[in-house]
Amino acid sequence: MVRADKTNATRSLRDISMANSFPDTTPITVTVNGRPLRAFVEAKTLLVQLLRDEFALTGTHIGCDTSQCGSCVVLLNGESVKSCTVLALQADGAEILTIEGLASGDVLHPLQEAFQEHHGLQCGFCTPGMILSALDLLKHHPNPTEAEILAGLEGNFCRCTGYAAIVKAIKAGAAKMRETAS
């Protein structure tokens, strides 16, 4: 069982009383998409469960139970991780970026725009993980070759697109991001 208190990231008497009510839980604080959030988690709680079940950030998907599909990828302190392989406790104090944190209001992130324009998605189930993995890849390779993109997406599966459109979208998104940065 996990309990969250989203209103105040500081430890308070209420926190202590909640911890007493759920003795097998530990309070943690994470910053998700720029917002500090507190939760009470069990030792076995996964980061993906914390994001989806407690913080209602359901853009982070669960596509397997073997840590293979990559649909749960988020950025943890700027590095892409499969959030089904990280314990919530390990994320205590961390900054997390999920797909919900990419757009600025109604303005999509350049990678999101590129996926839309270049048909980098069909059902969209893999897309949040693809985009967050791509974001990490572009930090290291701002102008990636096709081979670098394919290597960067090794842990992400897509059942629909055949990957060609995803590679095209990432190349286009990278170009947009370079333009924006210059």
- Answer yes or no whether residue 80 interacts with ligand FES by CB under 6 A: no
Closest approach of Cβ 99 to ligand FES, in Å?
14
Amino acid at 78: G
- Answer yes or no whether residue 122 interacts with ligand FES by CB under 6 A: yes
How buried is 131 (Cβ within 10 angstroms: 0-12 exposed, 13-18 middle, 19+ buried)?
Answer: buried
Tell me, residue by residue from 4 to 43, as one string, x for binding to ligand FES by CB under 6 A and - for no binding: ----------------------------------------
Closest approach of Cβ 123 to ligand FES, in Å?
3
Among positions 8, 12, 21, 67, the unique one binding ligand FES when judged by CB under 6 A: 67
Residue 89 or 160: the one with the smaller Cβ distance to ligand FES is: 160
Contact 170, 134 (CB under 8 A): yes
Among positions 36, 78, 93, 124, the unique one binding ligand FES when judged by CB under 6 A: 124
DSSP 161: S
Strand (E) positions, the chain? 3-5, 25-32, 35-42, 73-76, 79-82, 95-97
Contact 62, 1 (CB under 8 A): no
Q: What residues make contact with ligand FES under the rule CB under 6 A? A: 62-64, 67-72, 82, 84, 121-126, 158-161
